[in-house]
Structure 1
Amino acid sequence: MALNPPLNRKLRMGLVGGGPGSLIGPVHGIAAEFEHRCTMVAGAFSSNPERSRQAAPSYGVDESRTYGSYEALLDGESRLPEGERIDFLSIATPNHTHFEIAKAAVEAGFNVVCDKPLTLDLAEAEALLETVENSDVVFALTHNYTGYPMIRQAREMIQAGEFGKINATRCQYIQGWLADTSEDDNGTLAAWRTDPAKSGAAGTFGDIATHAFQLGRYVTGALPESVSCHLKTFVPGRQLDDYGTAVIRYQEGALGIVTASQVTHGRENDLELEVDGTLGSLKWRQESPNELVVRRKGQPHQIYTRSPGTGTMTPLAEASSRLPAGHPEGFYEAFANLYNAVFDDIARRASGSPFERRDTVYPNVYDGVEGMMFIEQCVASSESDAAWMPLSYPAARQ
């Protein structure tokens, strides 16, 4: 099969962020190049030019395409011939920088893959949405858990009506790495996540509850109506929440619960989703991602596994698998699945073909705006003693 048809070449990637000490920057680089559909050719890996130069060799980027700022990257790449400049820009920087980088990249005509949450606040998200809608670029948001084959299996089973009407969703994301004052230890991962100027109005809820909320939306398609939320800061001196629970009312009558913690001792990355329908229920855990548990009253419990070629997987789930049954696939593969879907649309755009912008396999700018509204309304609800706040958004993905 040709590479990125009809272009028949590798896509060219640029990265902002991912400098020394970064967690997610290298993940972007590995996932994007997982199936050899792209190669990283440019980067501004740090806002410190020297640190950016230090990081470049680990990504295989030549010094001539290593920049000291995102502005320099966009300017330098825009000046190159069309056949040499980057095809897309990935953004792996703290929350407070997403808006300015993404907006500038879109206005320069570059496709964007942006880390979540979309921006620092809802006003920025809405402004970025307008910028994207006034362009013809592909824009993706890395809620990468949507790339797991069994999550996509659950989504297609629900869409096919196998669980009947959806009554409830329960999604939790439980970690423990901030159970002490890690931000005082010069820990860069902790420091900006607990700083309102860099993380926004929410801490744990902005960082990981957004994953839980969006995962429920992605799998069920249920549209939120309102939210009631309690946020709590348990570690003394911390400025933002490190624990919280939200109750969500959906437009078709379903209820949802989102719980997030980063202060639960011993917990690692326990993202778990349960969905109750009138004909059955399902359960999936990110720490056992190759299994999907299905239960129906009066029947033995079923465990669907990632087992391509057996006839037990839905089409999208099977297409999202690479290895035979029993060989575990995980975080990088899920991230790569998101990139693969984005690459399909980037190739379509580059060849002048139409592509979908709202109903995409990967999370997009509309999901990002909805996620920012979720964060802001959860904070507002918590500040008002868990008062119900509206959550429906006109531009939400249907």
Structure 2
Amino acid sequence: MSRFAGREGPIRLGMVGGGQGAMIGAVHRTAARLDGGYELVAGALSSTPQKAQASGQEIGLQSDRIYDDFTQMAERESQRSDGIEAVAIVTPNHLHLPAAQAFLKRGIHVICDKPLTGTMADATEMQAAVKESDALFILTHTYAGYPLVREAAERVARGDLGDIRLVQVEYAQDWLSQKPDPDNKQASWRTDPARSGIGGAISDIGTHAWHLLCHITGLQPEALAADLQSFVPDRQLDDNAHVMLRFAGGARGTLWCSQVAAGQENNLRIRIFGTKAGLEWAQENPNRLILSPLGEPARLITTASPATGENARRLTRVPPGHPEGYFEAFANLYCEAEIAIRAHRTGAALPEGVQFPTLADGMSGMRFVQACVQSSNANSAWVTL
């Protein structure tokens, strides 16, 4: 039984990173409080002490729960009777491992932004840290939280599409089409190998596309051939990638991700074709899922409609015709994590249908990134996964 057994009320949450000017920190905080399941009570929000203090005060943390670094936070919070039960890690990639280690070894659950780490070596260490801890590890691949993504995965699993033959997934943005302003922190760390790791676009958004493909189709990857580019002069990491994919059973796929595709904002989309039907979903219009049975008119499935299954409807907050989006999808991951954390207190089994990205998904993403880099460096040679 967990030392947190017997606790009542919202889960006490801490945050590492996500201070002033950090977009994803605000997203995590909004998602965590959307359904009332968490209370943010502590934070080491910046590596700069002055900014950490200012950021904590800005969001209403008590002064004694604002920390200058995550090691100090992990030590002190683990000793408090009202200490945090879970921590959200929303730092640049190179800090995911040391921050997670600090909390996992103290039995504090970790909710970590993707990708898992910046390098495969760090991912291997993360795997060991999670294995050695009794705490849960949740990875926030946001798009798995959309109700119609859950619906798509269930339809594929029950055979509505037949045997999968082809998969096409893409994630196109344009925000890094030019050399960024040095003051743009979001751009600067993502294009810096020391903080981002071995991948640029392939790590930042390519892992999202990869996870979406694997999550919905359930296909087992066998090999890939990748062509990575850095179109912006003097950029050290890729900003565009084309990847061919082979899967067990003979299915084939392509993955394109780009952060230099002019006119594209956040265009994540997937198309899946089987022997019986095709399926299409796009993140910029997430409340529509298109099912195209072979030889029949296409069918439109909308969020919360009678055509959706029980699990998809469980993740939906409003009636049909009311659009849900990014914050709600992110909040669904936090809701699933909350159910898991409460079950963990007493050792209870998870209710049927509850799911969220885990360490295994993170390791899959890192193997994907490493294989893409390896393939591209070898003139797009096929690399076994």
**Within the alignment, does 1:384 sit opposite 2:382 as a pair?**
no
1:29 and 1:59 in contact (8 A); partners too? no
Q: Structure 1 residues 6-15 or 237-246, which shifts more?
A: 6-15
2:31 and 2:289 map into 1 onto residues whose CA distance is 23
Given the two structures, how large is their TM-score scaled by the length of structure 1? 0.93
Residue type of the partner of 1:234?
A: F
Aligned partner (choices 75, 95, 98) of residue 97 of structure 1: 95
What is the Cα deviation at residue 351 of structure 1? Answer: 2.4
RMSD over aligned Cα, in angstroms?
Answer: 1.6
2:321 and 2:128 map into 1 onto residues whose CA distance is 45
What is the Cα deviation at residue 7 of structure 1? Answer: 5.1
Given the two structures, how large is their TM-score scaled by the length of structure 2? 0.96
1:88 and 1:113 in contact (8 A); partners too? yes
Listed one character per residue, the Cα deviations across residues 158-193 of structure 1 (whole Å, up to 9, x for unaligned) are 1111111111211100000011101x4421011000
Aligned partner (choices 330, 337, 343) of residue 332 of structure 2: 337
1:207-356 correspondence runs (5 A)? 207-308=204-305, 311-355=306-350
Residue type of the partner of 1:140?
A: I
Q: Secondary structure at the match of 1:325?
A: coil
2:57 and 2:252 map into 1 onto residues whose CA distance is 49
Q: Report how many residues are paired.
A: 381
What is the Cα deviation at residue 296 of structure 1? Answer: 1.6
Residue type of the partner of 2:60?
A: G
1:297 and 1:102 map into 2 onto residues whose CA distance is 47
What is the Cα deviation at residue 120 of structure 1? Answer: 1.4
Listed one character per residue, the Cα deviations across residues 184-229 of structure 1 (whole Å, up to 9, x for unaligned) are 4421011000011111111111110100011000001111111100
| Counterpart in the other structure of 1:38 | 38
1:12 and 1:39 in contact (8 A); partners too? yes
Q: Secondary structure at the match of 1:322?
A: coil
What is the Cα deviation at residue 352 of structure 1? Answer: 3.1
2:5 and 2:345 in contact (8 A); partners too? no
1:206 and 1:143 map into 2 onto residues whose CA distance is 12
Distance 1:221 1:344, change over 3 A: same
Residue type of the partner of 1:204?
A: A
1:176 and 1:262 in contact (8 A); partners too? yes
2:172 and 2:258 in contact (8 A); partners too? yes
1:204 and 1:360 map into 2 onto residues whose CA distance is 30
* Structure 2 residues without counterparts, runs of 5 or longer: none
Listed one character per residue, the Cα deviations across residues 365-391 of structure 1 (whole Å, up to 9, x for unaligned) are 011011001001100000001111111
| Counterpart in the other structure of 2:169 | 171
2:326 and 2:5 map into 1 onto residues whose CA distance is 26
1:3-18 correspondence runs (5 A)? 8-18=8-18
What is the Cα deviation at residue 354 of structure 1? Answer: 4.2
What is the Cα deviation at residue 353 of structure 1? Answer: 2.3
2:212 and 2:136 map into 1 onto residues whose CA distance is 21
What is the Cα deviation at residue 58 of structure 1? Answer: 3.2
Q: Secondary structure at the match of 2:169?
A: strand
Listed one character per residue, the Cα deviations across residues 27-60 of structure 1 (whole Å, up to 9, x for unaligned) are 1011011100111000000011110111113322
2:118 and 2:199 in contact (8 A); partners too? no
1:39-54 correspondence runs (5 A)? 39-54=39-54
Residue type of the partner of 2:364?
A: E
1:245 and 1:77 map into 2 onto residues whose CA distance is 44
Moved over 2 A (4+): 4-8, 57-60, 351-356
2:129 and 2:350 map into 1 onto residues whose CA distance is 18
What is the Cα deviation at residue 6 of structure 1? Answer: 7.9
**Within the alignment, does 1:130 sit opposite 2:128 as a pair?**
yes
Q: Secondary structure at the match of 2:334?
A: helix
1:157 and 1:314 in contact (8 A); partners too? no
Aligned partner (choices 105, 108, 111) of residue 107 of structure 1: 105
* Structure 1 residues without counterparts, runs of 5 or longer: 392-398
2:375 and 2:311 map into 1 onto residues whose CA distance is 37
1:150 and 1:292 in contact (8 A); partners too? yes
1:6 and 1:245 map into 2 onto residues whose CA distance is 51
1:108 and 1:144 map into 2 onto residues whose CA distance is 26
